[in-house]
Amino acid sequence: MTLFRNVVFIAAIAGLVAGVVLACMQAFATVPLILKAEVYEQAGGGHTHDHGLAPAAPGGNAMSSA
């Protein structure tokens, strides 16, 4: 019974250490990338167009066969 308890205890500690290591890796690798993407999205300066143009002529659309 002592051997089983030791194996479970070591496995739990290994899982805890792996979780901490992966959390640190994500914090230092992923978070800066996400923050740079947010800055890029907020920069704007993209494509603009006028919504006040006249509507298309009646008589069909791209899906109708003439």
Over range 41-51, report the average pLDDT. 73
Q: What is the pLDDT of residue 42?
A: 84
SS3 track for the chain: CHHHHHHHHHHHHHHHHHHHHHHHHHHHHHHHHHHHHHHHHHHCCCCCCCCCCCCCCCCCCCCCCC
Over range 48-63, report the average pLDDT. 67
Over range 13-42, report the average pLDDT. 93
Domain-by-domain residue ranges, the chain?
1-41
pTM above 0.85, yes or no: no
Q: Give the pLDDT band (50/70/90) at residue 24.
A: very high
